[in-house]
Amino acid sequence: MNDRLKTALWVVAYAFVVGLLLTIFAQMTEFYRYLFSLLALYIGIRYFRRFETLGLRITFFALAIVFYLLTTVVMAIFIYVRENPATITGV
C-alpha cells in the first residue's frame, strides 16, 4: 500500500476515535465519563509520538474536532428519535 495513503488512513482513524471518545464524554453525566477523556488524551499522545510533522498534527486536531461535531449531531438525532417515536410514525 502507498505510504501516503496508509498515513492518511491512520490520521483519519486516530481522529475518528478521539472524536468519538470526546462525544461520549460530552454526552455522559456520570463520574466515569472522565475515563473517555483520559482515553482520548492517551490516544492523542500516542498519535503525536507516531507522527512528528506539524502538518499531520494540525490535520489530526482539525479532523478530531470535525468528527466530534459530526458524531455529536448524529448522537443527538439518534437520542431525539428514540425519545420521540411519533416523529417516525407520524402519529
pTM above 0.75, yes or no: yes
The answer on pLDDT for 85 being more than 90 is: no
| Maximum alpha-carbon separation in the chain | 55
Task: Give the span between the Cα atoms of 76 and 53, in whole angstroms.
Answer: 35
Confidence (pLDDT) at 84? 85
Quick: pLDDT tens for 31-43. Answer: 889 999 999 999 9
The answer on pLDDT for 91 being more than 70 is: no
Full DSSP string of 40-85: HHHHHHHHHHH---HHHHHHHHHHHHHHHHHHHHHHHHHHHHHH-T
Domain spans, the chain: 3-89
Q: Cell 495513503 identifies what position? A: 5
Quick: pLDDT tens for 33-77. Answer: 999 999 999 999 999 999 989 999 999 999 999 999 999 999 999
The answer on pLDDT for 5 being more than 80 is: yes
Q: Of 63, 74, 54, 66, whose CA–CA distance to 14 is shortest?
A: 63
Confidence (pLDDT) at 43? 96
